[in-house]
A and B are shown apart, each in its own frame.
Chain A
Amino acid sequence: MKSKKPTKNEKNINSQRLKVAIFDLTDCEGCELVLINLREKLALLNEQTDIANWRFAFDNHNLGPFDVSFIEGSPTAEKDIEITKQARAVSKYVVTLGSCAELGGIQATLNNNEWEEGIKEVYGNSYKTKNKAPKPVSYYIDVDYHLPGCPINQNELAQLITSIISEKKPTEYRSPVCLECKARENTCLFLEGEPCLGPITKGGCEAVCPSRGLRCWGCFGPLSGGNHKALKRNFEKQFGKDKTKELLKTFFSQTNEFKELYPKEK
C-alpha cells in the first residue's frame, strides 16, 4: 500500500490548519455523502483544513493526533467501539455526524432483547454475532458537539467548521422545525392531521421534508424545552397509544425526553 505523498498544497502548509479525521461506524454513510456532495467546496474545505484520516473518500494512514474527529454511525460492531474510544483518545474535539452517532439512529429503536431476537430471525440459529445492539456514540465516550440529522444539513456543517476554525463555541439551533417550515409558507401537515413531529423537533434542517409534503420524523432530535408531553397527548387522541409510541421512538428512543415520556421502557 502506498503512503500519502505530500500534495502541492501541503508543501506550503499552514501549521495552523485544523487537522481533521472522519470516522464511520455502523450506518448508511449518508452523512459522509452530504460532505462529498459539497463537490467543489470539498476541495476548499480540504484547503482550509487538513483532512488527515478519512477512510471512505481519502485514506486512513494518519493515526492522529487530530484537532477534530467527526464520528458517523452508531457503535455496533466490536471494532466500532474500539474506533470510538481510540478516536476520543487522540482528538481534541469529537463531533458526532448525524442521528446514528448522536441518537443511535433508527437501528437503536430495538432494545437489546429485540436486537438479539432479530439476529436469530434474520440469520438463523447457528449464527453468532460478536456485536452489540446499536447505541449512540455518547454511550461510550464524551462528545463535544453534535451535528444532527438523517442526514446532516450542509449549512449547519459549514457553520460548525467555521466556528471551530475561529475558536468560537458552535451555537445550537434552538427553534423547532415549525419555524423554518412556516418561513417557507408550507401547508401545516400537523394541522392537516398528519403525525408530524415538527413542533417538538430541533430545526436546522430547513424543513426539507415538510417542504415536499413529508411529515417530520424527528431526525434532528428532540427540541430541548419542547412540550413533548402535550404532543404525546394530542397524538394519542388522534392515532392511539401504540402508534404514538412508535412515532416518538423512531429517532428519540435513546433520549432523555423519550425516557421521561415512557419511564418504564428499558
Chain B
Amino acid sequence: MKESVLNHYICKIEGHGELKLNYKTGRARLEIDEGERLFEKLVTGRDYLDAPFITARICGVCPTAHALASIKAIEHAFKVELTPNIIALRKALLAGQIIQSHSLHLFFLALPDYLDVVNAVELHQERPEIFALATTVKKIGDQLVETIGGRAVHPTAPTIGGFLSVPDKNILKKLRDDLESHLPQTLEAAELFANFKYPSLRRETEYLATENSEHLSYYDCEKIISNRGLETPVENYAYAFKEEVRNDSPAKYGKRDGHGFMVGALARLSLDSEHLHPKAAYAYRQIWQKKIPSYNSYHNNIAQAIEIIHLAEEAIIQIDNVLNDRNQVFKVPYRVIEGEGAGAVEAPRGTLYHGVKISEEGKIELYDIVTPTDQNLLNLEEDATELMSKHKDLSSEKLYREIEMLIRAYDPCITCAVH
C-alpha cells in the first residue's frame, strides 16, 4: 500500500497545511493544501441578500464575522443608516463570535502544546478543572452567538438593515446575567495562559488593526492603523497592502513594503492596550505583567485570553445598551441602489474585509474578500525562518515542534485563507 494520507496534515489547526523546513536555504514554509471554493465567484451575479448567507460558509469557526462584514459592505453601498440599538446588538454578537473562536483555539487547539497532552478532551480525565474551564468559556461565546445570531455555527438572524428577529428582552437579560456570573472564569483562563512558558522569539514587525475616531474598535472600523504610521480609511484597504499570488499556493499572501505584517489579537493589544475594559486591563497589567509590544508571536495566545475578558465585558455593556434603549425595532428600511461598498470587522484572527459592487437591480457585480489569515501568512513564515536561524542548536524534531507551536499560536484559518 502506498504512503497513507490519513495523517498528512498539521493537527489542531483550522484547515490543511504542511510545514516544510528547508535546511539548505534556512527557510520555513507553511504549504497550503486546500481546494479553491471561489466564494467571490459564487456570489457574483446573485441577489445581494444572498451574500451574507453564502460568505458565512467560508468558515465554520468565524461565520458570524464573515456575515457581518458582508452585511456592512452591502449597507455601505446602499448608504443604510442604522439605529444605535442595532449596532449595539451586533457588537454583542461579534464579541460572542470572537470569544467562541478564541476559546476553541486556546483550549482545544493550543492548550495541548503547553500541558503535554495529545488533545483537550484528555483533560476531562487528567485535569478535570481545566476541562471544565474550557467548556465554560467556550459556552459563553456559543450562547451569545446562539441567542443573538440564531445558531452557534452559521448565524440565521443577522441581515441587511438589522436583524430578521431578536430574542425577547428577558432572554437577553438572562444572557447578560449569565455572562456576568462567568467573568471570573475568563480571568482564570487568562491566568492559565499567562503562566505558560512560551518559547523565546523577538522579531520586530508591523501590526495592523482598525479603529474608530477614538480607539481600537472591533465593529466601528473606520480606519486602518499600524505601529509604523499607516493610517488610511477602511475603504482603501486594497491600497494598504498587497495580496500576492504564489503560483503554487491557493492562499494569497499579504505584503507591505516587501514584508509580512501581523493582524489579530496580539496586533490589536500591541496597538491599543489603553482602552481595555477594567477586568481585561487588570489581567493585562496585573496577571500577565509583560511589556507590549513584545514582538513574540507566541504571545498571541495570551492576547486572545485577554481579549476574551475584554469582549465578555463589552458584550455586557452592549446588551445593557440594547435593554435600556427605548427603540426596540431591530430592522431599518433601505433602498436598493447601484453602488460600491466596503465592510470590515475585527474578526477573531484580525481585520476581515468584504468589498462589493451592486447593480441597480440589486445583483452583485463584483465581490472581494480579504481574510486575516491571508494577511498573516507571510509574517508567520518570516517568524518561522527566524526561529530556524536562531535555533540551529535544536534537533530537527524539536525545531519542527517549536515551529508547529508557533503556527498554532498564530491560529491560522486556512479555510478562510483559501476561500
A interface list, Cβ under 8 A from B: 1-2, 4-5, 7-9, 21, 23-34, 36-37, 39-40, 42-43, 46, 51, 53-64, 74-77, 79-80, 82-83, 86-87, 90, 105-107, 109-110, 114-115, 117-119, 121-124, 126-129, 131, 134, 150-151, 208-209, 211-214, 217, 243, 246, 250
Contacts and interface: CB of A to CB of B under 8 A. Distances in A.
B118 A55 contact: no
A213 B153 contact: no
B41 A28 contact: no
B43 to A, nearest CB: 10
A77 B34 contact: yes
B173 interface: no
A74 B35 contact: yes
B5 A83 contact: yes
B33 A124 contact: no
B315 interface: no
A59 B34 contact: no
Name, among A28, A33, A62, A213, the residue most crowded by chain B CB atoms within 10 Å (CB to CB). Answer: A28
Nearest to B37: A107
A36 B35 contact: no
Interface stretch (B11-19, B76-84, B229-237): B11-19
B165 A212 contact: yes
Given A56-B12, A131-B250, A77 B33 contact: yes
Interface in B115-168: 118-122, 124-126, 131, 135, 138-139, 142, 150-154, 156-157, 159, 164-165
B164 A212 contact: yes
B153 A37 contact: yes
Given A26-B34, A33-B61, A106 B126 contact: no
Contacts of A114: 41
Interface stretch (B46-54, B283-291, B340-348, B374-382): B46-54
Contacts of B108: 36, 57
Given A53-B6, A58-B118, A208-B151, A150 B38 contact: no
Given A129-B250, A212-B156, 15 more contacts: A7-B122, A7-B125, A21-B6, A37-B138, A37-B152, A56-B11, A60-B9, A77-B35, A106-B57, A107-B42, A110-B41, A118-B41, A150-B154, A209-B156, A213-B165
A63 B121 contact: no
Given A1-B401, A74-B35, A83-B5, A57 B46 contact: no
B157 A213 contact: yes
A211 to B, nearest CB: 8
A9 B125 contact: yes
Nearest to A246: B46
A53 B60 contact: no
A242 B400 CA distance: 53
B125 A8 contact: yes
Given A5-B118, A28-B59, A36-B104, A43 B131 contact: yes
Contacts of A55: 7, 9, 11-12
Contacts of A42: 121
A142 to B, nearest CB: 18
Name, among A55, A58, A64, A122, the residue most crowded by chain B CB atoms within 10 Å (CB to CB). Answer: A122
A8 B138 contact: no
